[in-house]
């Protein structure tokens, strides 16, 4: 069977499965729409949480970032993995014992203020829309290449699929859809990794293959060969880092702390029956996540090594089929600067307009390349790093069914997280703004309708952000983590562990952290991208890591304001004490 036919078959079957699950598990109440009725098994919830958390950034872009950044890319690996451990141990059981539907619900009740609730909703919407832009772009890239359509049309198709099962099924539908999506995405990630490791080193375990000797007779290990080839082409060695220690620390910390403040991940712990189950599901999720994250470094190294060997010094007329396939979508490109008909792949930008950052995000991706060749270097090849995981099986000449499986897996990763984010946004609007703040008398039926209308509007906005993304997938997602670290995490942390923190302090801290972090990122990414260099950064901290400074400002402002204003009322003290009681294994009250 032809590869393209297999792609249509695999993607079509996976979509049919997702839609079938959504129809089967349609939400009939607000409880089912928001938290799947609160009765999800911890193992099932762990798998759904892993799918929710491992987005297009994890599946598509993280390995691509590491492949091209080398050692410096390890910050994403460390930050996202460590952050999940922090979330599981520090926040999840306590929030589940609180027993509400959403993060703004917790903040509004804990800080006895609808203003605090509304500020939390604004923070949540900022974070979620920043995050979802990356997911929709990932969907567009996968559709663009494998269904042979335009990226924009790919994003629109993805919007339609997510609309169907997120709006119809709510959290109940999303939970069981995400279990199926996890199975698809992890199988799609591991199978080609095992194939490639076996072919390259004779070792079928990718994690071990990364440190093994290559089977090409060179006597070199994978990393030695990769370092050697990159240095020959003018790139830094793969195992050398160029980022400063302070920036590496801040990016890693921002990703870790941001993970612990991500609303679409936290809400998953409201779907289990009791607080002890929240801790169990967090543990299971960590196991499921580790399967992909421990494989990613090997995928990155093998992908970059195969890419270098496949492209460098190859005559364009003899370019492999995979190159032409991705070139047709504008996600890889070649410009013959010296007229010799040979692809010269070296350090530097192949095109004017293909730098890492440009005003308004135009020119950062392959499909937005400008036509002018960069004349200050000899590099003739441009590659969008988001394609590396998707193209890897083709570059390695794996069977067509593996390529089709990766296509289905990439879509599963992006769609699963997009659905979770959309639900968080719709819940924030319908439950936290309407029901809890502006229209407390609204009926359950009216609230459910409002949630579905809000989800629909969120999908439209998400699609626009996917078509006009402010950066490549993992970068955009990194900003979401920074915003979460600077705004929601301190309010949640102090809400659990500080009885003295009051509404005035929490509100002031959230506004300060969010405003500072957002403006810093917007300045260097949108308004003054030419200044986005280490010498212009505050304390040498890049926009990806600035969330740590925003978090510290949040804590400082919140604690100062809280000390200068009245303490929380006695009933809030009792609430905090109840949340922190170790007997959290008991069933939490329903909202």
Domains of the chain and any CATH numbers: 3-303+397-469 (1.10.4160.10)
Joined tokens for residue 145: 């290449």
Supply the pLDDT for residue 193: 92
Pairing of strands 381-383, 342-343: unpaired
* pLDDT tens string 168-220: 656 666 777 778 888 888 888 899 999 899 988 989 999 998 888 888 888 88
**pTM score above 0.85:** no
* CA 66 – CA 474 distance, rounded (Å): 11
Q: Running DSSP on this structure, what letter comes out for residue 415?
A: H
Higher pLDDT, 529 or 221: 221
Quote the distance between the C-alpha of residue 232 and its chain's center: 33
* CA 115 – CA 120 distance, rounded (Å): 9
Task: Identify which of 553, 550, 549 has the alpha carbon closest to the alpha carbon of residue 505.
Answer: 553
* pLDDT tens string 370-387: 556 677 778 888 888 778
* pLDDT tens string 6-22: 888 888 888 788 778 77
Higher pLDDT, 507 or 87: 507
Q: Which residues are 221's β-sheet partners?
A: 213
CA distances from 482 to 101, 255, 358, 422, 539 (A): 24, 7, 21, 19, 16
Higher pLDDT, 18 or 406: 406
Q: Running DSSP on this structure, what letter comes out for residue 526?
A: I
> If DSSP codes are grouped into helix, strand and coil, which group holds residue 257?
helix
Average pLDDT of the residues of the chain:
79
Supply the pLDDT for residue 54: 74
């Amino acid at each position: 069977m032809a590869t393209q036919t297999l792609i249509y078959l695999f993607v079509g079957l996976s979509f049919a499965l997702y839609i079938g699950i959504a129809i089967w598990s349609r939400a009939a109440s607000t409880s089912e729409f928001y938290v799947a009725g609160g009765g999800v098994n911890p193992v099932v919830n762990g798998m759904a949480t892993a799918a929710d958390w491992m987005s297009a950034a994890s599946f598509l872009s993280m390995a691509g970032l590491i492949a091209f950044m080398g050692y410096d890319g390890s910050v994403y690996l460390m930050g996202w993995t460590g952050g999940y451990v922090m979330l599981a141990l520090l926040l999840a059981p306590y929030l589940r014992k609180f027993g509400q539907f959403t993060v703004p619900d917790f903040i509004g009740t804990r800080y006895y203020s609808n203003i605090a609730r509304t500020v939390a909703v604004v923070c949540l919407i900022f974070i979620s829309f920043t995050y979802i832009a990356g997911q929709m772009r990932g969907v567009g890239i996968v559709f663009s290449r494998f269904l042979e359509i335009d990226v924009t049309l790919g994003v629109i198709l993805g919007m339609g699929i997510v609309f169907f099962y997120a709006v119809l099924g709510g959290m109940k539908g999303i939970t069981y859809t995400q279990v199926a999506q996890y199975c698809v995405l992890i199988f799609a990630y591991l199978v080609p990794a095992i194939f490639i490791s076996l072919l390259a080193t004779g070792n079928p375990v990718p994690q071990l293959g990364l440190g093994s000797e290559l089977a090409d007779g060179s006597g070199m290990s994978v990393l030695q060969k990769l370092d050697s080839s990159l240095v020959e082409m003018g790139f830094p060695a793969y195992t050398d880092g160029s980022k400063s220690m302070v920036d590496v620390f801040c990016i890693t910390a921002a990703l870790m702390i941001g993970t612990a403040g991500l609303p679409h991940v936290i809400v998953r712990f409201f779907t289990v029956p009791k607080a002890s189950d929240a801790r169990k599901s967090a543990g299971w999720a960590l196991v499921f996540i580790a399967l992909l994250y421990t494989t990613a470094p090997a995928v990155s190294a093998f992908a970059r090594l195969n890419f270098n060997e496949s492209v460098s010094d190859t005559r364009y007329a003899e370019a492999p089929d995979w190159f032409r396939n991705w070139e047709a979508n504008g996600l890889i490109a070649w410009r013959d600067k010296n007229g010799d008909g040979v692809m010269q792949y070296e350090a530097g930008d192949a095109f004017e307009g293909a730098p890492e950052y440009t005003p308004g995000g135009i020119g950062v991706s392959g499909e937005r390349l400008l036509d002018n060749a960069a004349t200050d270097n000899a590099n003739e090849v441009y590659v969008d790093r988001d394609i590396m995981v998707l193209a890897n099986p083709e570059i390695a000449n794996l069977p067509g069914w593996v390529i089709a499986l990766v296509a289905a897996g990439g879509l599963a990763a992006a769609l699963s997280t997009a659905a979770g984010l959309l639900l968080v946004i719709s819940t924030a609007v319908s439950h936290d703004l309407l029901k809890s703040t502006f229209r407390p008398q609204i009926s359950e039926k009216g609230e459910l309708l409002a949630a579905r209308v809000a989800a629909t509007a969120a999908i439209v906005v998400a699609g626009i952000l996917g078509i006009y993304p402010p950066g490549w997938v993992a970068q955009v997602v990194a900003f979401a983590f920074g915003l979460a670290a600077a705004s929601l995490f301190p309010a949640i942390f102090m809400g659990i562990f500080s009885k003295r923190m009051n509404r005035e302090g929490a509100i002031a801290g959230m506004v300060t952290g969010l405003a500072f972090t957002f403006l810093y990122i917007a300045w260097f990414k949108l308004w003054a991208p030419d200044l986005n260099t280490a010498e212009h950064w505050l304390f040498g901290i890049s926009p990806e890591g600035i969330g740590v400074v925003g978090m510290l400002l949040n804590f400082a402002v919140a604690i100062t304001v809280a000390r200068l204003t009245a303490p929380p009322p006695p009933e809030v003290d009792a609430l905090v004490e109840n949340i922190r009681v170790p007997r959290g294994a008991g069933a939490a009250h329903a909202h």
